[in-house]
Amino acid sequence: MSIVLRLDRVMADRKMSLNELSEHVGVSNVNLSKLKTGKVSAIRFTTLCAICKTLNCQPGDILEYVDDGNDE
């Protein structure tokens, strides 16, 4: 099982750049880039809330559970 991050898709739908999102959310470009590419293992709820507020979306629009058949 895994969680897939769809931040790039939501940002594209909203026509928002990484720099714009970074300014609104107050998180560095580097950290948002890692989040966007799925190279993170955790996210703070405060960061998730700020992203959702800025992009006017729900956490489920950004995070997707995928059952890949591997039980951990």
Residue 72 lies in a domain: no
Q: Does residue 53 fall inside a structural domain? A: yes
Task: Report if residue 11 sits inside a domain.
Answer: yes
- pTM: predicted TM-score of the whole model, two decimal places: 0.87
Q: Is the dihedral of CA 15, 59, 25, 6 positive or negative?
A: negative
Please report whether residue 71 resides in a domain. no
Report pLDDT for 38.
Answer: 86
Q: How far apart are CA 1 and CA 49, in angstroms?
A: 24
Which residue range is the domain that position 42 belongs to?
2-66
- Using one digit for the tens of pLDDT, what is the confidence trace for 6-46? 999 999 999 999 999 999 999 999 999 999 988 998 999 99
| CATH number of the domain where residue 43 is located | 1.10.260.40
Q: How many domains does the chain have?
A: 1
Whether 2 contacts 72, CB under 8 Å: no
Q: Give 59's pLDDT tier (boundaries 50, 70, 90).
A: very high
Residue tagged 């999102």 (tokens): 21
Q: Classify residue 39: in a domain, yes or no.
A: yes
Residue 9 maps to a domain: yes
Q: Is the dihedral of CA 35, 13, 4, 55 positive or negative?
A: positive
Q: Retrieve residue 55's tokens.
A: 């992009």
Q: Three-state SS for 3?
A: strand
Tell me whether residue 35 is in a domain: yes
